[in-house]
Every structure is written in C-alpha cells, then in structure tokens.
Amino acid sequence: MVADDPHTLLVTISGEDRPGVTSAFFDAIADVGAEVVDLEQVVVRGHLTLAMLLGAGEVEERLREVVAAVGRELGLKVKVKDGRGDTPRRRTGRAAVVVLGHPLRASGVAAITARIASHGANIDRIRRLSRYPVTTLEFDVSGADVERLRRELALESSVHGLDIAVAAGGLARRGRRLVVMDVDSTLIQDEVIELLARHAGREAEVAAVTQAAMRGELDFADSLRRRVAVLEGLPVSVLDEVRAAVRFTPGARTLVRTLKRLGFTVAVVSGGFIEIVAELARELGIDHAHANRLEVRDGILTGRLVGEIVDRPGKALALRRFADEAGLPLSRTVAIGDGANDLDMLEAAGLGVAFNAKPVVREQADTAVNVPYLDAVLYLLGITREEIEEADEADGTPTPAPPVPTT
C-alpha cells in the first residue's frame, strides 16, 4: 500500500480529549486490518483533533463502520472521506517562522499568514512554543525563500509590534550550535563602565558617551578610551564592588543552562572588561569569554587598556574563532547583541538576534527580541517552554516564573 493508492480513507476525529481515545480507535482499526499511511494529533485546551490516513483496500466499508461506531461510543465527531489525492507534490524551501507577541493578537497572526500565502509558501504545521511570559508560535513552512520571506515578514513585525524570526527549516534547525552573546545590556542589565564611572563621580558623562557609541554615532574604540580614562586613580577593589552590583538579565541563567543541556557551546564577547566578564562566565558555566583588559599598577587603575581593543570587528573575529574551535560552520552560530558594536558579529552569525536593541541594530539583524527575557531566544531555536521546565524539574532546578510584562 502506498500513500497515493486510491483505496485510502482520511478519518478526522474531534472532541473532548481523555486517556484511551487514540488506543480505542486503533484497537478497532487493527481488528479490521487497515494500514496506517499518515497520522497527526493535536490537543488544544483539552480539545482533541486526530487525523488518520488509512489504507483500506478490500475492507473500506467495514473500516467506515468501525470508526463511526467507536466515535459514537466515545461521544466524538468522526468524519470520513476518500483519501485519494492526499499526497501533494514535494515542496522545497523549508523554513521555520517563529512569532513572539505580548499580546499576540489575531490581527497580527492574520497578517503573518496572509504574507506567507502571498509569498507562495505553505504553512504545513503550527505549534505553540510558549504561553508566558510571551505567547510564541512556530510555523513550519514549505516553498519559501528564507531571505525574501524574512524581509517581507519584517514589515509585519513593525506594523503589528511582533517579534518574528525566519530561519531555514529541516535539518538546519537541528543539531549542535555555538551561541555568542554580548554582555552589557544583554547578558546583564547594566553597563559596567557606567558602574565603574559612578565610583569616579562621572557616571552621567560616561553614560552619554556609551549611548552615542551604541547608536553608532561615535567610533567605539575612541569612545571606550575616553570612558576608561575617567577611571584613572580608582583602586582595583572597585572591580569587586561592581561585580557584586551586576544584575543578570531575567532569563539569562535559564538560557545558558538550557543551551548547555543541549550540548551547545556558549560564549560571551564584550567591549567591557575581562575582570568582570570572566567571573560572570564562570558563574554561569559559559565556555568562552573575550573582553578588554584594564591596566592596573600598584593596585590602582591607570585609565588605560592593555592589548587590542575588543571592538566591532573584534567581536566578529572572536565568533569565528570560537566556531572554528567548536568545529562548527558559521551557519550553526547564533549571535545576540544590542548595540552598533555588535553589528559585525550579528552579520557573521547564521542567526543574528537584536535583543532590546538600538534602532540601527534592529534594522540590520536577522530578527529582534523586544521583551525583557533573554531566554525568549530559546523559542527562536524551536525550544518550548514546557521542554525547558520539564528539564529543570527533572534535575531539581527551580525555574523562576517571570512576571507578565505590562502593556
């Protein structure tokens, strides 16, 4: 029996889900002797939809009678129709479209599905990845040009206030990856240079330069030297005080913990300072850390840096080096950042994610995440909230329930 055999029946069952429904139908079907050609089941809020493509052969009439009888017994709605023509031509161009919204309004979903249709692609499957702190849906799409569809859906993203990621589907969606993150305002909520400048009484001055650099208005290397210069004369002990004051971004621990469970390589690359970044990486179990080094003499910060500055090109070089060391092509890399200093890294990666980023970064990245939870990046990789929480429960790790963002 093959899928395009004229003696196939498409059986669709719907109604209230409960244990034993699927087995009841298949016990009855087994007695008739039908072949299972295709099968799909989904349960949404306790409502079951079960679709079976069955090879009927000589027992077609008996099969119709049996599934109808089981449906009546269980109080379920059963539809049976001829399964001929069930196998469409094979479509290429597989893509995964992930949509995050809080809230995720029907108008936004309507616009996205219409845009996919006008692209000439087909939605083969939809599944929910999370319902809190944001609602996330994944569309399994075929017949798509990934780069063109990404550009087209970016228009809907801005109009409807949604975060939309488009990535190659199929095997490209699976397997080991390298994930590289910026640190300041990405892995952590703070800008370390501003925390240090507070000790020098010049926080506002440094913050203004930092913001201009992140918007791409100033050369990063020059702006960094200017900001570091204000630290001259501070005792090295301020580094410990600043490290204690740093706040991880909500979801940072969950993100790294989950990536490590999957066997991914995780790295941080920062225009900040290795004296802070290395300790953060150790605390979270991150594999690689690359950042600038402050010059210290006789226990005092000199206001200068040691070695080459980790700037925009330097971040991209670090990503490539970590990928080489992990034996991964760039297509298997993910970069996450928020400022103009991250743009080369985001462009080099297979997937560049702008996290609560400046406008210039959102415009140029592959996708953007605009909710304050770093673990939302996991949804872009096709990982569900339920899978994250089940893994945490299995090893006794408490998963914090993030507050629902206000609108």
4 labelled catalytic: no
- Strand-strand pairing, 122-130 and 135-142: antiparallel
- pLDDT at 2 (0 to 100): 43
DSSP-derived 3-state class of residue 115:
helix
Instruction: State pLDDT tens for residues 63-77.
Output: 999 999 999 999 999
* Catalytic site residue from 17, 182, 190, 344: 182
Of 355, 382, 372, 377, nearest in space to 102 by CA? 372
Q: For residue 395, is pLDDT > 70? A: yes
- pLDDT at 5 (0 to 100): 52
Rounded Cα distance between 363 and 347, Å, is 12
pLDDT, average across residues 5-25: 88
Cα dihedral 388, 392, 398, 401, rounded to 10, equals 10
pLDDT, average across residues 33-47: 87
Q: For residue 254, is pLDDT > 80? A: yes
- Percent of the chain exceeding pLDDT 90 equals 72
The domain locations on the chain are: 8-82, 95-174, 179-394
Q: Is-contact 291 277, C-beta < 8 A?
A: yes
The reply to whether 95-174 and 179-394 are identical in fold is no
Q: Confidence class of residue 102 from pLDDT cuts 50, 70 and 90?
A: confident
- pLDDT at 398 (0 to 100): 75
**CATH number for region 8-82:** 3.30.70.260
Q: Confidence class of residue 43 from pLDDT cuts 50, 70 and 90?
A: confident
Of 402, 331, 336, nearest in space to 373 by CA? 402
Instruction: State pLDDT tens for residues 306-356.
Output: 999 999 999 999 999 999 999 999 999 999 999 999 999 999 999 999 999
Instruction: State pLDDT tens for residues 374-393.
Output: 999 999 999 999 999 999 99
Ranges 56-60, 182-186, 255-259, 332-336: which has the least confidence: 56-60
For the chain, the average pLDDT equals 90
Could you give the strand order of the β-sheet that contains 163-168, starting from the edge strand earlier in sequence?
A: 122-130, 135-142, 95-101, 163-168
- Scored b (16 or more CB within 10 A) or e, 71-87 reads beebebebebeebeebe
- pLDDT at 87 (0 to 100): 52
pLDDT, average across residues 397-404: 62
**CATH number for region 95-174:** 3.30.70.260
27 labelled catalytic: no
- Percent of the chain exceeding pLDDT 70 equals 94
Q: For residue 4, is pLDDT > 90? A: no
- pLDDT at 403 (0 to 100): 52
Please state the CATH superfamily assignment of the domain spanning residues 179-394 in this structure: HAD superfamily/HAD-like (3.40.50.1000)
- DSSP characters over 222-252: HHHHHHHHTTTT-BTTHHHHHHHH--BPTTH
Of 398, 369, 397, 395, nearest in space to 130 by CA? 369
* Catalytic site residue from 140, 184, 311, 366: 184
- pLDDT at 45 (0 to 100): 85
- pLDDT at 99 (0 to 100): 96
pLDDT, average across residues 195-206: 88
- pLDDT at 312 (0 to 100): 95
Most confident residue range from 211-215, 322-326, 369-373, 393-397: 322-326
Instruction: State pLDDT tens for residues 277-302.
Output: 999 999 999 999 999 999 999 999 99
pLDDT, average across residues 12-40: 91
Q: Confidence class of residue 217 from pLDDT cuts 50, 70 and 90?
A: confident
- pLDDT at 91 (0 to 100): 61
